[in-house]
Chains A and B, each alone.
Chain A
């Protein structure tokens, strides 16, 4: 009897192992369409960028004679010719420098002013505060186009037209509503006790702001800095409007002008596009968490 029992146990055990495997296999097979759809999405979202990067390392002749995927087979014919050509094209090298000279100060200016304003909105009481803040929330969605003509005239009248200062100020003005909104929400979420005990200890607002508020807001400021920095680096409209023909115009404007002015033979601009997106992609990959938080913070909160 016991022998029978053992065999029964074995017989039930053995099929179980097999059926588990079968189940898993069946389950995976069932999920195959899911994996295929995901793979198609990933392919569509990756391949265009990949194609551009590959092409940027090919000669212009090769680009015109065969698609980028032909490099999979020898002769590969990789060359840096496009990069040399781009960097030797008039205005390109200096415009890359301009991009840096526009982006860094513009980012610093707006974040410094926004943090200070956000502190007032978060920790001070004053008449009209709510109305001011509602206006700021409303301004977050106002299209920049609405402001271009009066500000162009303002810059022309003050002699700032075409200067770096003009774009620094313009970017700061456009960026402020969102930054004040975001930082005010973050600052307002800090524990009240910390500020109150500092006040009891006799710390004025300057000390509370510089010694307590700012250090505690560093994570939010870091995410926001990345977001603002790349926003200005990638901007086309503001620069086109205020620096369109100035020698101070940034890289994005020069690339755009080259694309539209070159009917054919624009292929070497692949290298320009790669140079333009290297910085954002590097920042994204290196600081992924901060980056994603910065990009999404606004819409999750409001």
Chain B
């Protein structure tokens, strides 16, 4: 009951506090000299947002970089030891390799499937209902999706009843059951597929949005000139969609690098399925703070190019405003 009251106070209180902040603050500012007013007012309005961003993102970011050069107790400098550990220890190298696998395959198939499905559905009458079907996994949490796929990948020893959907299907074609999540040749692919399954609908909806913006006249003209559907997709639709595909791809690359939930729930990183994010969390849970910080920095450095791309794109948009 106490917790519910706290939550209610927060829900009602925060907007009230902000309202009070706005009214009292504005009242105070209005009584200041004009010159001070114009100077101070914008900071007063932007302060809560900038404050939160500073405390929860900027400061920790810088602090983590510092921590990555310190020992676990944060008492002495250890130079690059934490990084040397990361780039020489077999387990962490495996997590690095797996993140690269995620980066390549998750991004490629999520965007590729999204594109193919968007283009195919554009040509059929049951488009809207089919889109709902493909989009359905997007609102589902990675935790629930992992349990959904735990059943798909379920494995029983050969000779017993296969209750996992995939192994039962395999069995009906006379195949031997596969321990999808344990076997190290299949498990990374299996996990990456769960990720692809969860996000394809998202890619599809965005690509489909700009597909609808392509004028039908252009496509009709191409058809009259005798282009077949594959040529139209390859030579007209895809180039026109290219800006959107780039945006979706950068988003997916960031997603791939941050991937945590699916791996954590389905295998906890066992059987060589660790990725950078789960590796970082394990170091943290084991109180290896220096190493954990170093892993975090590696992850951040991998994302920096995308951060730059994002800012560049933002600046281009601003110039067009």
Residues of A within 8 A of B (CB): 31, 34-35, 37-38, 41-42, 44-49, 51-52, 55, 63-69, 97-98, 100-101, 104-105, 108-109, 112-114, 116-121, 124-126, 129, 132, 134-151, 154, 164-165, 168-170, 172-174, 176-177, 180, 188, 204-206, 209-210, 230, 233-237, 240-241, 248, 252, 255-256, 259-260, 266, 269-270, 272-274, 276-277, 280-281, 283-284, 288, 291-292, 295-296, 299-302
CB-CB < 8 A to B139: which residues of A?
Answer: 230, 234, 277, 280-281, 283-284, 291
Q: B299 to A299, Cβ gap below 8 A? A: no
**What DSSP secondary structure best describes chain A's contact surface?**
helix
Q: B197 to A48, Cβ gap below 8 A? A: yes
Contact of A259 among B14, B147, B254 (CB under 8 A): B147
* Cβ of B239 under 8 Å from chain A: no
Contact of A41 among B61, B117, B206, B289 (CB under 8 A): B117
Q: How near does chain B come to A239, taking the closest CB pair, in angstroms? A: 10
Q: A116 to B48, Cβ gap below 8 A? A: yes
- Restricting to B113-129, which residues have a CB under 8 Å from any CB of A? 113, 117, 120-121, 123-124
* Cβ of B142 under 8 Å from chain A: yes
Q: A255 to B52, Cβ gap below 8 A? A: no
A113 to B54, CA, bound (A): 14
Asked, given contacts A143-B300, A277-B140, whether A205 binds B57 with beta carbons under 8 Å apart, the answer is no
Given contact pairs A98-B3, A116-B49, A164-B10, a sample of 4 additional A-B residue pairs in the complex whose CB atoms are under 8 Å apart:
A45-B133, A51-B152, A146-B296, A148-B292
Interface residues on B, range: 35 or more
Q: Which single residue of chain A is at the shortest CB-CB distance from B315?
A: A134
Q: Which single residue of chain B is at the shortest CB-CB distance from A108?
A: B11
Residues of B within 8 A of A (CB): 3-4, 6-7, 10-11, 14-15, 18-19, 22-23, 26, 30, 39, 41-43, 45-46, 48-50, 52-53, 55-61, 63-64, 67, 113, 117, 120-121, 123-124, 130, 132-144, 146-152, 161-165, 168, 197, 200-202, 205-206, 209, 244, 247-248, 251, 254, 257-258, 260-261, 264-265, 268, 277, 280-281, 284, 289, 292-293, 295-297, 299-300, 303, 306-307, 310-311, 313-315, 317, 321
CB-CB < 8 A to B46: which residues of A?
Answer: 117, 120-121, 124, 126, 132
Q: List 25 A-B contacts (CB under 8 A).
A: A35-B124, A45-B137, A68-B163, A105-B10, A112-B15, A116-B48, A124-B45, A125-B42, A137-B310, A143-B296, A149-B63, A154-B60, A173-B57, A177-B53, A180-B49, A205-B45, A210-B22, A236-B142, A237-B277, A241-B284, A269-B147, A277-B144, A281-B136, A292-B205, A302-B247
